[in-house]
């Protein structure tokens, strides 16, 4: 009896929901509201309004800068959480020496050493050309972070860590949120809005986009490497 | 590439994706599961690129196939390899 009642109630709830589903535009249809207003505006006027030739970058950093600001903060928070949870490793110097004495393949080590500068250059290219071609701060940052991890595994942790000196590492870790704070404040001065960009591809807009790209890239790479290194520490 | 070929390519990728996902869930050996998961990310990266999202494809390749796998591996090396 109770079961039948539940089924009837569920059916009553399901009917309007299914009817609403049927009234929605078809999956992937060009009539969807998302494609008729926002996407059209982005594609038609994105380049002149947002100041980046790559529309994706314009959307991520300019139109939806607040979303990206939140995402960058989440990444930094993740790093802070991992470091806080896995804190408390003593005499790290001993461990590092122990870690670098792990037997490794000479071929892998040589190839990684050979490729490292090119990978670093590619990461920089992806960050710098994020405005005009696919890529950007986060993509370039992850490539550089992956390079740091590969160097830790194949060469030595000391050498990889030297690229991000301990003294300034906290600043590198928070580079993403910091760059958003700086650009957001610049937006307040220039336009009166937090993260407001001047219209069009002015020098100021370009500079602001570049600062964001670099901040996201440096922050992303440092966070990835820091999490990896902290996981490698003995608890 | 013609439209039919493109569709066929897409369908093949989707089948691979589902197979990889099932393999990840069913494997008891966590090391093997992590490696299959990185293969899943690689296929996903092809899907993104094929669907015209090279930005996301790049991120998927670096984060999904690279960094996540490494983090999983270091987590496994600190715990146990077999799922109970």
Interface test with A, best of B38, B49, B55 (most A CBs within 10 A): B55
Q: Is residue A79 part of a domain?
A: yes
* Cα(B76)–Cα(A86) distance, integer angstroms: 15
Q: Would you kindly state where each structural domain of chain B is located, as residue ranges?
A: 3-78
Q: What is the DSSP letter of A155?
A: T
* CB-closest option in A56, A135, A224 to B67: A224
Contact A100, A157 (CB under 8 A): yes
Domain count, chain A: 1
Buried b (16+ CB within 10 A) or exposed e, A55-84: bbbbbbbbbebeebbeebeebbeebeebbe
- The structure tokens listed for B20 are 């990889």
Interface test with B, best of A126, A146, A157, A234 (most B CBs within 10 A): A146
Q: Is residue A144 part of a domain?
A: yes
pTM for this prediction: 0.81
Beta carbons of A139 and B71 less than 8 Å apart: no
Closest-CA residue of chain B to A134: B55
> What range defines the domain where residue A198 resides?
54-232
Q: What is the interface pTM, i.e. ipTM, of the complex?
A: 0.83
How deeply is B79 buried, as exposed, middle or buried, from its count of CB atoms within 10 A (0-12, 13-18, 19+)? exposed
Nearest to A156 by CA among A83, A222, A102: A102
* Cα(A120)–Cα(A155) distance, integer angstroms: 15
The residues of B whose Cβ lies within 8 A of any Cβ of A are 54-55, 58-59, 62-63, 66-67, 70-71, 74-75, 78
- The structure tokens listed for B69 are 């796998």
Q: Is residue A190 part of a domain?
A: yes
On chain B, the residues whose CB falls within 8 A of the CB of A146 are 62, 66-67
Beta carbons of B59 and A138 less than 8 Å apart: yes
Q: Is residue A32 part of a domain?
A: no
Beta carbons of A146 and B62 less than 8 Å apart: yes
The per-residue pLDDT string of chain A (235 residues; one tens digit each, 9 = 90 and over) reads 889 999 999 999 999 999 998 888 877 777 777 777 788 888 888 888 877 788 888 888 888 889 999 999 999 999 999 888 887 655 455 555 555 545 568 888 889 999 999 999 999 999 988 878 888 888 999 999 999 998 988 888 888 888 888 889 999 999 999 999 999 999 898 888 888 888 777 888 888 888 999 999 999 999 999 999 888 776 5
Q: Is residue A46 part of a domain?
A: no
Q: Is residue A16 part of a domain?
A: no
Q: What is the pLDDT of residues A1-47, one digit of tens each?
A: 889 999 999 999 999 999 998 888 877 777 777 777 788 888 888 88
Q: What is the pLDDT of residue A234?
A: 66
Q: What is the pLDDT of residue B34?
A: 93
* Cα(B43)–Cα(B57) distance, integer angstroms: 10
Q: Is residue A17 part of a domain?
A: no
Q: What is the pLDDT of residues B5-47, one digit of tens each?
A: 888 888 999 999 999 999 999 998 999 999 999 999 999 999 9
Q: Is residue A10 part of a domain?
A: no
Give CA separation, A234 vs A90, B29, B78, in Å: 9, 23, 9
Beta carbons of A134 and B58 less than 8 Å apart: yes
């Amino acid at each position: 009896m109770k079961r039948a009642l539940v089924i009837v109630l569920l059916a009553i709830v399901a009917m309007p929901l299914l009817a609403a589903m049927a009234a929605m535009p078809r999956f992937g249809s060009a009539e969807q509201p998302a494609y008729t207003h926002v996407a059209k505006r982005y594609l038609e006027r994105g380049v002149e309004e947002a100041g980046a030739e790559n529309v994706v970058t314009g959307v991520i950093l300019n139109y939806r800068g607040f979303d990206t600001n939140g995402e960058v903060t989440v990444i930094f928070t993740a790093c802070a959480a991992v470091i806080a949870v896995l804190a408390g490793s003593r005499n790290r110097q001993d461990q590092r020496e122990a870690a670098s004495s792990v037997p490794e393949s000479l071929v892998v080590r040589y190839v990684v050493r050979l490729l490292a500068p090119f990978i670093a250059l590619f990461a920089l290219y992806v960050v710098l050309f994020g405005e005009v071609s696919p890529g950007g701060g986060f993509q370039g940052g992850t490539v550089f972070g992956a390079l740091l991890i590969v160097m830790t595994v194949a060469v030595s942790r000391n050498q990889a860590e030297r690229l991000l000196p301990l003294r300034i590492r906290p600043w590198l870790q928070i580079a993403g949120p910091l760059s958003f704070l700086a650009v957001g404040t610049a937006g307040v001065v220039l336009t009166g809005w937090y993260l407001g960009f001047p219209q069009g591809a002015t020098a100021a807009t370009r500079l602001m986009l570049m600062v964001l790209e670099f901040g996201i890239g440096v922050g992303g790479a440092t966070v990835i490497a820091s999490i990896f290194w902290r996981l490698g520490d003995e608890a | 590439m013609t439209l039919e070929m493109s569709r066929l390519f897409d369908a093949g990728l989707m089948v691979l994706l589902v197979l990889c996902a099932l393999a990840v869930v069913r494997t008891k050996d966590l090391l093997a599961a992590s490696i299959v998961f990185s293969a899943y990310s690689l296929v996903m990266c092809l899907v993104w690129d094929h669907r015209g999202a090279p930005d996301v494809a790049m991120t998927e390749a670096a984060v999904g196939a690279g960094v996540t796998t490494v983090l999983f591996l270091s987590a496994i090396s600190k715990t146990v390899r077999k799922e109970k």
